[in-house]
Amino acid sequence: MNIILFGPPGAGKGTQATKLVADRGMVQLSTGDMLRSAIANKTELGLKAKAIMDAGELVSDDIMIGMISERMSHDDCKAGVILDGFPRTVAQAEALDGMFAERGITLDHVIEIAVDEAALFDRIENRAKETGGARSDDNADVLRQRLSVYHENTAPVLPYYADKGLLSRVDGMGDISSVSHHIEQILDS
């Protein structure tokens, strides 16, 4: 099974993806983690991406599509993938359709984790405390920009998948296990 976890920064996509990896043996493809790893390895891409990420903007579609396409060609993805943080634009969603078609696989579900945006500021502040500020984009100013980019560029991906009949929505304001239970129900439906 191949799914997309969708939602604004701090919605809990990564947390839910980690649970699905443990429970179902699926593979998590987090473009944010891939970029952070490029930054940690001081690659040319990492150096370019860091400034963009710190400003709360999006890395270019070409780079992100290339990154996911390369990762999806690895054998472990045959177990089923959880896309976390991709697609973030309609162009990325269209490119993803092409990748799935090329590989003869299908996208089964797009799950939107819906959250109250005011609560995201507390969540991001907590995450910054818990991780000792590991992510330089986890602060209120950058979050404000990331949310504005989410509304402008990423939210338009929702109707794209609704039109294909793939979109489901879960309430992301509950505790981790209730959100996870709701996601499991969708996957088993």
Contacts of 46 (CB under 8 A, 6+ apart): 35, 37, 38, 39, 40
Tokens of residue 40, six digits: 């940690």
CA distance linking residue 28 with residue 46, whole number of Å = 20
Q: Which residue's CB is nearer to ligand AMP, number 134 or number 181?
A: 134
Q: Which residue's CB is nearer to ligand AMP, number 19 or number 88?
A: 88
CA distance linking residue 54 with residue 139, whole number of Å = 10
Catalytic residue (choose from 24, 50, 71, 127): 127
DSSP secondary-structure letter at 21? H
Query: Whole-number minimum distance, CB 85 to ligand AMP, in Å?
Result: 3
Inter-helix orientation angle 13-24/176-188, to 10°: 60
Residue nearest to ligand AMP (CB): 32
Catalytic residue (choose from 78, 146, 164, 169): 146
The kind and range of the H/E element at 3 are strand 3-6
Catalytic residue (choose from 24, 123, 135, 169): 135
Q: Which residue's CB is nearer to ligand AMP, number 32 or number 167?
A: 32
Query: Whole-number minimum distance, CB 137 to ligand AMP, in Å?
Result: 6
Interacting residues with ligand AMP (CB under 6 A): 9, 31-32, 35, 52-53, 56-59, 64, 85-86, 88, 92, 137, 146
The count of other CB atoms within 10 Å of the CB of residue 12 is 21
88 is catalytic: yes
Q: Which residue's CB is nearer to ligand AMP, number 134 or number 176?
A: 134
* Residues classed as catalytic: 13, 88, 127, 135, 146
